[in-house]
Amino acid sequence: MSNLIIDEGNTLCKMAVADGGAIVAQFAGRDIDDAALLKIVGQYGINNIISGSTRRKRIELPQDIRGIRHIHLGPDTELPISIQYSTPNTLGSDRVAAAVGASVLFPHADVLIIDIGTAITIDFLDDNGVYHGGVISPGPAMRAKALNTFTSCLPLVDVPSAAELRGQSSTESIQFGILNGIRFEVDGYINAYQEHNSGIKVVVTGGAADVIARPDVVHEPNLVLIGMNRILEFAGMM
């Protein structure tokens, strides 16, 4: 059975084809292209589709493929984990899927889940598969835009992938300040969790995940896609 996974994030729309639990093809673009979607469905013989979006309540599929079983990841979706969150209707599908992906990578373990993208989310899943929420803060591009928007003279900069401790120009000072700020912030959360739980697993994902380089952190770029595929499989078991 071939599954199509559609993850529409704030910046990119990622699609993947999964077969037998393994991701066999991936695609990415700014928005969903109906023609490309139809081509993927035909080429890979898609049987099931799961979609999730941080931009809108629901992704509407093209008319030609609406006969395929489609699950939209939302507050009412049945999950293989439990959600302990006071406002589940406001919980982003990407955070839910990342938590499920963490449960696939580390079954029966406490996991700290870090997603560094448009926003940064740091969430906790316990060893009983219960999601306990976490924190949200601005991502790299958002920080750069804020410094440019709310000051008179600071330029809008691209954020590089590496930083020194001292910038030798205003541009470098902003770039390094953003990257080091994120690195120190995330390191601080990891260290705080590890103080209370030395055996906790840590996984990082997202477009700027390379900011974090620690031997005790697992990098999994497909964490959300893995989680969405697991949710689709779980729905098929019920």
237 — pLDDT class (breaks 50, 70, 90): low
Q: What is the pLDDT of residues 28-59, one digit of tens each?
A: 888 888 888 899 999 999 999 999 988 887 88
Of 5-9, 46-50, 128-132, 234-238, the range with the highest mean pLDDT is 128-132
Token couple for 208: 């700027």
Instruction: Count the residues in the chain.
Output: 238
Distance of CA 182 to the CA centre of its chain: 16
pLDDT > 60? residue 238: no
Q: What is the pLDDT of residues 143-168, one digit of tens each?
A: 999 999 999 999 999 998 889 999 99
Closest CA to 155 of 167, 147, 164: 147
Over the chain, what is the mean pLDDT? 93
Find the angle CA(121)-CA(13)-CA(96) to the nearest 5 degrees: 35
94 is catalytic: yes
Q: Model's pTM, two decimal places? A: 0.93
Options 7, 19, 64, 94, the catalytic residue: 94
What percentage of the chain exceeds 90 in pLDDT? 81
